[in-house]
Structure 1
């Protein structure tokens, strides 16, 4: 131990004389390990770390699939009657809870905040063992059918909206004309469970009975609703005797048989069925994020491999430099093991410095990046340096230290160290074999090619999505959702008055009573003549919708005010749907079983973040629709306060549920693609830099040991380009082998993940690989040129003079 401490001190003293070497090692490995530690901790939290709920391995959620006659899945959400039938009749789970997500404005608070609301049955809090800061959970007095108007708020809402009022249990929350007594506040330590998406964080919980599903939809067996969800806990008996698929099969039988009876009179659903998929809760939460996480892991590991190859190159130079010192140690009796511990001491100091930097970078990443990712990746709020992070980083530290030390000791010709003390050192310098140098080149080319290819492919796809023409104009427009409070008839009259008032404003160019362009429902149509059934994305609009977003009508006509006021059964279809309905182009006048008639065709649009054409149709707006699109005059803007003033001049009870520009909504939908594009650019640059440094290190060493040969060739007439061509051609086989291995690796990835890669065409893959090959070739040429530049630029006599 005393000897090792002495060796550590000597290593520190030695490294102080080489600050550039220390800086290169610590920065390169610190940045690389920091990225890997961040990704590894994220993977641990998402894939391995147990959910913070009791008996989390027994928690399940269900996916309700509506399957058509061609076995295509038409929808993944529950219908209200099917969900209620499941809750009341299933016998598979020992505990179960219902959840419906929505939002509303608290009208009892002066700032009228918009809140995310979860309508739940009491079992929700029991299964999650939700801790309370104040008050109680929901009890049997709030069970299904009790209609007990109470509410539970989360800790943040208590602090933010009620200033942590100690008398909170004597307060009420009003949503329009409905009032709910606060009976509890969730503890700050409670981990909210979002079954919908990471972006939905419930602020308020209300008993299930008060959910906002309309009475009409509560009775419709064919209308699915993405806000309806189900959470359950399996008994020990179920866990031991039924697989996930068997649970799904039993529940499918329960739901499908009843559903078939309920819809047997509806011709549209002939030969359709229901399929229930049971998923463990932890798998359901991360399902949409797995692919992104795997790509991050691959990228981080790839960078580590490149960094390790580069560090190995730096150590090669360092070992050559320390040959004389190591020879002295060998001459005075140091054996191979003692030389090994000397190398471990120096490499350990460097790797420990890199590890400290890596943990600092990871911690900064958790703090700075997490807030931006928490709406897109699950459980990001749990990211922190934890026991796994420390265990992983210190394990990696020892692996790297031992690995580099073993490489070093293998490269040292121990038997030649003592004899080197007897010579002047000429012609006996430490050399790395040509085979090792070639292997290092091959490894650099292989890893760099794979990473750059994947990054180019991802970047290309992301840019296609980002730059995809939408087919409509979102600029200078706002999407508004009002908080409903009145019945449909009263709300229709008030919306009409509000539209008129807003249209009279000099700042406003046009107002449409419709949802924003990216929101569609899925509805069914049956052709009158052929009885052919169709499902398509649909939305209700008014006569101002298409002119407002500049979506062109290419055939027929737009809706008129009379058609909307008289609720005529007319529809407008998009190009894709028109081509499917009438390939001959004779679409106008086509009728459906509901007496709806096609009166026009509009250009296709693409939703932000999606480059797939979809069949769509539009029908006259329901006048009680509480949504508006507002197009401003050029150069004009609208604030929430200005709009609220206009609303309350019509009726004091009107309020704003949500308010944002169409561009803001589009940016949210493009977030994943934007982050992907930015991340791939950064990773490609880092990969090129690391690979360039690595190749430069290898070729610089090659140039140094061949300096006399290079000088001699130039003395007999060789030009600089001839020397560069010589070195490049000598490394060409290693480059070709690297490309070949990368092709095999990429081929294996494609064969194993072809379902994930279906969105990428063969042409995209070929273009990406050609781009990768060109980039790597240029990188190698530059790496060949840089070490040779000093020999090419200076007089030949100087090269000959210093070559021995």
Structure 2
């Protein structure tokens, strides 16, 4: 019986190919979007991390604050404190284990083309805490821990495949960094899901023992943003208790180690234990929830259209229903008839949705939505398939119930008794108006939210940065063993020689040397620090970020000098106590008196620097407008060279490397990017948001237009004779159009009122799901204008057959 019903339903659907294909594709695409975003949100918010006891894994973060809890330096944990607390882990009863990770980028010196690798210097506990799967070899042992000076390494699966061709004898080979040969003892498995605790999209290529971390000698008064301290709490331990225990110990040690240092007077470290999942997911959940909300809206619009199609088909099938009723079919039989037909359509749509979801997941993994967390392990799983089938089944039953409610059984019987004359089954006026109101409500609300998001993202994309974006390049240098083998003065002379050689290239306009620029490949950026307008303890402090370099470095970067003078080369070589400030800081100084010649003081100190120039503010992606101080210096540890080429000219990493090798074989480029590429990387999330909201708005408008057109066309078909009579007694086409438009504007009024209520509720959430621009009256009015235009256009298109032809055609039902 069931098989026969399915076969009969299939035969009926084969006779209506356009109806069948339209429903399957519409629902398949919309449901596929929902399934993929459900899978993404499950992965980010609900799926457990693939590490044992992941809920007990914590990342230690901190800040330097004063007695009033005012932040003096964000992201501050003394590097020496991290090492000492690691060694004294047994003193903390709440902590089961501590691991250290120090990340850096280095140039491998033995492989062809000298590739650049992401390096992770770790203690043995790191891999043990993560229970990292291995393709070959082993973890670091306790004999290779802190202080052992054992030159051993582990490599990632991708490095093994790309640079060692998957050779199983790789454990007998070495990699070379800064002149040290590291014996490879292990290869992580391809399924290893490395926790991203630092910069987005960071994936370690090579792990070294912690003794070979690429950081200056640890000090209590210096932070190290490359170091991450991971804790595993005991099962019964409270994170708050562990935090206070560590914080008290850190501050006791900090006060002892910095006694007499004015910069640390009245200062303490404030710690925070961040759960692994919170750190890994970050703000990716906001993006994923926005995508989920968008997919739900698309599905609602698609369902409204499908509902209209199914109801129209039900009207066409009224005679078949009447015959079945005459043969004894009850309402439950008619419901089964509808469910069987819709079940076939929705099953096919569910299958297509899985294909669509797979394609969307592939796009997400390729980076189309930016650096989202945990994409490496994102894939269709059993729960995803179950979700797709259950959602499809629930929608099928819901739609079948709606249709069966619209098919009044008694009316069907009366139609049979009256031979079908004048008593045909119709979709009720209330249902038709609800369909239009629902379409318009969704469309109006969605457009308002999308306009707010789009405007914010577009402003970020179009904003002038104040730096040179075209024909400029950032070149980060690696000096290899020269950091240990040469004195600071020798390295400085070597770098100046390299700079002279670069300037001699015909395509180079300007080139200068400095430290990390205000925007670079290091996406997380750097913490702010504090200085004072007056000498002494706690005297009118302000936050700032500093950049060191030569005058030509800042010129190539694009800072525009508007007052005073630039640095001289002598000032950069001698690290003179002069600075150039931005307008943001100059405005604060102007309120206090002079700008040029003003003195700025180190925190809690009498040491000062003199302001000799003012540059324009720069506006960088994801960074607040803050006081900036530019310092004359030639960094010799991890220098950057800023290059500006002539118009329509370029320069390559290989070309620079060849020039550096001729100066000294240890010098290499470890990161090379154009400013255009860097800005695109930092603006990726805004670009994704603008494209996503634009596409979502267009799709919503198109789907809404299709759905509203169908309902309007049906309404006009029911009123065809009436409209023909009006036209035959003198009504003009404009009069008839206005009459139809008035009918369509009634459900629009309902949608407008409902949309206003919904958006007022959403505005209360503001920063939770959508930005507060969603409540902007301007966006709402623009959206309302777009929807009114849409309704007018759809009304005109649906009424064209009536008003563009003589009234006789309408009276004849043609």
Are 2:250 and 1:234 equivalent residues in the alignment? Answer: no
Deviates more, 1:406-415 or 1:508-517: 508-517
Deviates more, 1:450-459 or 1:251-260: 251-260
Return the offset for 1:409.
Answer: 0.8
| Among 587, 611, 618, the residue aligned to 1:579 | 587
Contact 1:289–1:377 (Cα < 8 Å) also in 2: yes
Q: Which residue does 2:247 correspond to in 1? A: 252
Are 2:773 and 1:770 equivalent residues in the alignment? Answer: no
Are 2:461 and 1:466 equivalent residues in the alignment? Answer: yes
1:680-699 aligned at under 5 Å gives the runs 680-699=693-712
Return the offset for 1:249.
Answer: 3.7
Distance, in Å, in 2 between the alignment partners of 1:472 and 1:684 is: 33
Return the offset for 1:802.
Answer: 1.1
Cα 1:731/1:179, change in 2 over 3 Å: same
Contact 2:59–2:273 (Cα < 8 Å) also in 1: yes
Q: What TM-score does the superposition give when structure 2 sets the normalisation length?
A: 0.93
* 3-state SS of paired residue (1:372): coil
Distance, in Å, in 2 between the alignment partners of 1:619 and 1:781 is: 62
Q: Which residue does 1:293 correspond to in 2? A: 288
* 3-state SS of paired residue (2:548): strand
Return the offset for 1:199.
Answer: 0.8
* 3-state SS of paired residue (1:152): strand
Provide Cα deviations, 1:81-124, integer angstroms capped at 9, x if missing partner: 33234433533221221111111000011221100011111011
Distance, in Å, in 1 between the alignment partners of 2:777 and 2:67 is: 38
* 3-state SS of paired residue (1:717): coil
1:107-122 aligned at under 5 Å gives the runs 107-122=109-124
Return the offset for 1:299.
Answer: 0.8
* 3-state SS of paired residue (2:282): helix
1:269-668 aligned at under 5 Å gives the runs 269-372=264-367, 376-485=371-480, 486-487=482-483, 488-514=488-514, 515-519=516-520, 521=526, 522-529=528-535, 531-583=539-591, 586-591=594-599, 592=601, 593-610=606-623, 612-624=624-636, 625-668=638-681
Q: Which residue does 2:15 correspond to in 1? A: 17
Contact 2:92–2:245 (Cα < 8 Å) also in 1: no
Distance, in Å, in 2 between the alignment partners of 1:424 and 1:789 is: 33
Contact 1:116–1:204 (Cα < 8 Å) also in 2: yes
Deviates more, 1:357-366 or 1:716-725: 716-725
Distance, in Å, in 2 between the alignment partners of 1:637 and 1:317 is: 63
Provide Cα deviations, 1:403-434, integer angstroms capped at 9, x if missing partner: 11101111111112122123343321221222
* 3-state SS of paired residue (2:293): helix
Distance, in Å, in 2 between the alignment partners of 1:247 and 1:307 is: 52
Q: Which residue does 2:97 correspond to in 1? A: 95
Q: Which residue does 1:28 correspond to in 2? A: 26
Contact 2:763–2:772 (Cα < 8 Å) also in 1: no
Return the offset for 1:197.
Answer: 3.5
Return the offset for 1:436.
Answer: 1.9
Contact 1:78–1:229 (Cα < 8 Å) also in 2: no
Q: What TM-score does the superposition give when structure 1 sets the normalisation length?
A: 0.94
- Ranges in structure 2 where 5+ consecutive residues have no aligned partner: none
Q: Which residue does 2:808 correspond to in 1? A: 797
Return the offset for 1:28.
Answer: 1.1
| Among 160, 178, 181, the residue aligned to 1:179 | 181
Deviates more, 1:174-183 or 1:300-309: 174-183
Provide Cα deviations, 1:614-663, integer angstroms capped at 9, x if missing partner: 21110012342521011111221112221111111111221110112111
Contact 2:415–2:421 (Cα < 8 Å) also in 1: no
Distance, in Å, in 2 between the alignment partners of 1:581 and 1:375 is: 40
Are 2:127 and 1:128 equivalent residues in the alignment? Answer: no
Provide Cα deviations, 1:242-275, integer angstroms capped at 9, x if missing partner: 2x44443443333344435544544444544432
Cα 1:130/1:20, change in 2 over 3 Å: same
Q: Which residue does 2:195 correspond to in 1? A: 193
Distance, in Å, in 2 between the alignment partners of 1:374 and 1:99 is: 28
Provide Cα deviations, 1:658-711, integer angstroms capped at 9, x if missing partner: 112111111111111111111111100111111111211222221111111221
Contact 2:543–2:626 (Cα < 8 Å) also in 1: no
* 3-state SS of paired residue (2:598): coil
Contact 1:579–1:585 (Cα < 8 Å) also in 2: no
Contact 2:136–2:186 (Cα < 8 Å) also in 1: yes
Deviates more, 1:66-75 or 1:200-209: 66-75
Deviates more, 1:644-653 or 1:528-537: 528-537
Provide Cα deviations, 1:592-614, integer angstroms capped at 9, x if missing partner: 3323111011000011355x422
Distance, in Å, in 2 between the alignment partners of 1:418 and 1:466 is: 64
* 3-state SS of paired residue (1:518): coil
Contact 1:578–1:585 (Cα < 8 Å) also in 2: no
* 3-state SS of paired residue (1:399): helix
Provide Cα deviations, 1:1-47, integer angstroms capped at 9, x if missing partner: x2x22121111111112111112211111110111111011111111
Cα 1:494/1:374, change in 2 over 3 Å: farther
Contact 2:562–2:616 (Cα < 8 Å) also in 1: yes
Contact 1:169–1:181 (Cα < 8 Å) also in 2: yes
Q: Which residue does 2:108 correspond to in 1? A: 106
Aligned residues: 791
| Among 695, 706, 719, the residue aligned to 2:732 | 719
Cα 1:373/1:140, change in 2 over 3 Å: farther
Cα 1:529/1:381, change in 2 over 3 Å: closer
Contact 1:69–1:270 (Cα < 8 Å) also in 2: no
Return the offset for 1:481.
Answer: 0.9
